[in-house]
Structure 1
Amino acid sequence: MRAAAGKYRQRNSHAIWRAHAESASHPMSEISVSATSTVDERPAKFSASDGTALTGTWFEPSPPRIATTVVVIVCGAGIPARFYHHFARYLCECGAAVLTFDYRGIGVSRQGNLRKLKSGMEDWAVLDIPAAFAEARARYPRLPLGAVAHSVGTLLLGAAPDASRIKRLIFFGPHTGYWRDYGARWRWLLYGVWHVSMPAVTKVVGYFPGKRFRLGEDLPRQVALDWAGRRRPELGRNVEEARRFRLILSRYREIRAKTLVLSITDDAFAPPAAARRVLSLYPHLVVTHETIAPATLGCGRLGHLGFLRRPASEFFWRRAAAWLITPNVGDEPKTTTQAAQSPNR
C-alpha cells in the first residue's frame, strides 16, 4: 500500500499552551464557552439505504444564532456516539451544527439480538456513514459539509460514496487496525487482545461482549472478525475482498478536503506510523499532520481518547473548531510538500 498525498505537511507540536488542571471527578466534562447554553439538542432518526434505522443527536445553535457549517462526527469502532457529545456541544457553541450518530449494532442504534446482526465494518462504511452525510445535507443543504473522524472511523469514512462533498476534515488518532502499526511497547498485548482473544470469544458467544470485558461497546460478530482479521497491511484478506475493495478505494481518491490530522505520541492504537498508512489511501487530501506529545500539553499521558478528556481537550477542541469553522484556517500556502509514505511493513 503506497500512495502520495496531494499536499502534505507534517510537524511536531511544541505548543507552550498549558491546560487547566484536570478534573478528577469529571474526566469527560465539557469546556464551556458561554455561561448559558446556546445549544439545542434533539434526537436524529434516519435510515441507511438498506432500510436500517439509525439514531443520533443533533447539536444546533439556539436562535437567533445560526450555523455557518454542518459537521458529522464519525466514531471509532466500539466507541458510542455519546462519548463525543461534549465535543459536539463545543463545536456547536463555536458556530457549527453537529450530528453525532451510532453505527448499526452500536449504542442507541442497537436493535434486538446482536447475535442476529450480520453486518460488518463494510456496512458501517458504505451504508451508515453515507446515511449520516445525507441527513446532514438534507437538514442544511446550503452549508459547507465538514467531518471529524476518530480512530478506525478515519478508514471507514473514505468508503462513503459521497465523502467527496466534504470541504473540511479532521482525523483524530487515525489507524487501519493493522496490528504492526500499534505502538511498539503495546503491540503484542494488543495483538493478543484484538487479533487472538476477540475472534475466539466472538465465535463462541456470537458477538464480542466488549462491555463485559470493559473494552468498549459490544460489537456485532462480523465487525469483530473484520477488526481481528487485520493481520496484513492490505485491506483485502482474499481475492474476492481485494476485488471489491478496489472499487471502494477508488472513492478515497475523490476526496480533496483540507484535512487536519492530529496524532498523539503515546497513542498505542494510532501512533504517527498508523496515521501515515491511513493517509496513503487518500492521495488528494490537502493535509496538515500535527504530532502532539503529552508533555507539551502538561499531561503525563493522553492515549487514544486523550483528545476527549481534560485537561488536553481544550487544546484539541479549540484547534478543531478553528479548522472547521474559521474561514481561511488551513488555506495558507504549503511551504513544505512531502509525500505520505506507507510505514514499513
Structure 2
Amino acid sequence: MQIQTLDTGTAQLSLRVYDATLAAHTSVVIGGAMGVRQNYYAPFAQWLSSQGFRVTTFDYRGSGDSLPDSAKGSLRGFKADLLDWAGDYEAVVDAAKAALPDAPLYLLGHSLGAQLPGFLKNQDKINGLVSIAAGSGYWRDNAPQLRRMILYFWYVLVPLATRLFGYFPGRTLRKVGDLPAGVMMQWRKWCLNPQYSVGAEGESARLSYGKVSFPVTALSIADDELMTWRGTQNLINLYTNAPRSFERIAPADLQVRRIGHFGFFREQFNNTLWPRAQQIIEGMAGVARKTA
C-alpha cells in the first residue's frame, strides 16, 4: 500500500493505492460513505488488490487524512460542499485512470460513494459502478428506526449545531462525524427533497445523472439500519440511462446474524460478500469485452 497526496488545485487529498500482487488488469476506486475514513476500507482494498486489481481509496476534503493542518483544531470556516466532494471523486478517478490508462476502471461506492458519481464530469473514464448499501437519503426512504427521529435531526439539531459551531460537530454528538457546514447543509437540502440530489440541485443534476451510460449494480442489505429497499431503488433509478440491476442480501443468506449498513467491508465477509463484488466487476468487464 502506498500513501499518496493528490493536488486537485483547490484541495490536497490523501490517497491510498493498493497495487495488485501480480500485474493489475483492472482499476477500482472506492468512494466512501459520509463520515467514514478511507482506512475503514483497507482490509477489503488489500484483499481486492490480491485478486489482481489496482485499488485506490481516498478521503474527501475536510475529512480523514485529507483534513488540512489549518482545520485540525476545528472545521469552523472550512469551505466545502457535496459538489466539491464530487470534484474530489472526479480527480481521484482521473489519477487512477492515468496510472493504468489501458485498463478498465470501476467505482465501488459505499452509500454516499454511490450517490456522487452522477455528478462526475469524467464519466467516460468509468466502466461501471457497484453500489454498496446505498440509497436515496430522502427522509421518507430512511429505515423505520431512523425515520422516527430524522425530522428532529434535520429541522432542529443540524441547523442549530451547525450555526453554533460553524460546522457539524458529529463526533461530539456521536452522529455521522465532523463535517464542513457546507456539506451538512447541502446534504440536509437533499434529504428533505423527495427526489434527493436531483430534486435539490435541479435540471443540471438531472441531466448529469442521465448522461451515465455505464452499468450500475446495487447490493441492498436487508438489515441496513439506514437505507431501505425502496430508497436503493429510488437512488439507482436516478441513473435513468444506465443499465441497472439490483440484488437484495439478507443476513440469513450468509448464515450470520447481522450485516447492516457498514458490515459489507468487515473481514468476516471475505469469503462471501467480497468475492461477490469481484464477480460483479468481472461480469461487467466481460460484457464490455463482448460488446467492444
Q: Determine the C-alpha separation between the residues in 1 that align with 2:216 and 2:145.
A: 29
* Paired residue secondary structure (1:180): helix
Distance (Å, rounded) in 1 between the aligned partners of 2:198 and 2:272: 39
The yes-or-no answer on 1:135 pairing with 2:92 is no
Unaligned segments of structure 1, at least 5 residues: 1-40, 334-345
1:53 matches 2:12: yes
Per mean C-alpha deviation after superposition, the further-off stretch among 188-197 and 111-120 is 188-197
1:123 and 2:84 are equivalent in the alignment: yes
Equivalent residue of 1:300, what SS? coil
Total equivalences in the alignment: 284
Distance in structure 1 (CA, Å) of the matches to 2:47 and 2:262: 17
Please state whether the residue corresponding to 1:215 is helix, strand or coil. coil
Matched, 1:86 2:43: yes
| Alignment-derived partner of residue 258 in structure 1 | 215
Aligned twin of 1:219: 179
- Superposition TM-score, scaled by structure 2 size: 0.89
1:305 aligns with 2:265: no
C-alpha distance in structure 2 between counterparts of 1:103 and 1:328, whole Å = 27
Q: SS where residue 271 of structure 2 aligns?
A: helix
1:210 correspondence with 2:167: no
CA distance in 2, matches of 1:305, 1:75: 11
Write out aligned runs for 1:154-303 (5 A): 154-194=114-154, 196-229=156-189, 230-235=191-196, 242=201, 245-303=202-260
SS state of the match for residue 76, structure 1? Answer: coil
Report SS of the residue matched to 1:116. coil
Letter in 2 for 1:232: N
**Which of structures 1 and 2 has the larger relative contact order (alpha carbons within 8 angstroms, sep 6+)?**
1
Question: What is residue 7 of structure 1 aligned with on the other side?
Answer: none
TM-score (norm 1): 0.76
Pairwise CA distance, 1:170: 0.2
Which residue pairs with 2:104 in the alignment? 144
Whole-angstrom CA distance in 1 between matches of 2:166 and 2:83: 19
1:193 Cα deviation from its structure 2 partner: 3.4
CA distance, structure 1, for counterparts of residue 257 and residue 13 of structure 2: 38
Q: Report if the CA contact (8 A) 2:4-2:17 is conserved.
A: yes
Q: Is this contact kept in 1: 2:211–2:241, CA < 8 A?
A: yes
Name the CA distance, whole Å, in 2 between partners of 1:189 and 1:274.
17
Equivalent residue letter for 2:278: A
Percent pairwise identity: 30
* 3-state SS, counterpart of residue 185 of structure 1: helix
The 3 A distance-change label for structure 1 pair 273 and 193 is same
Write the letter of the residue equivalent to 2:224: D
Equivalent positions of 1:37-116 (< 5 A) are 41-48=1-8, 50-62=9-21, 65-111=22-68, 112-113=70-71, 114-116=75-77
CA distance in 1, matches of 2:20, 2:113: 26
SS at match of 1:118: coil
Partner SS, residue 19 of structure 2: strand
What is the alpha-carbon distance in structure 1 between the residues aligned to residue 155 and residue 136 of structure 2?
13
Displacement of 1:83 in angstroms is 0.8
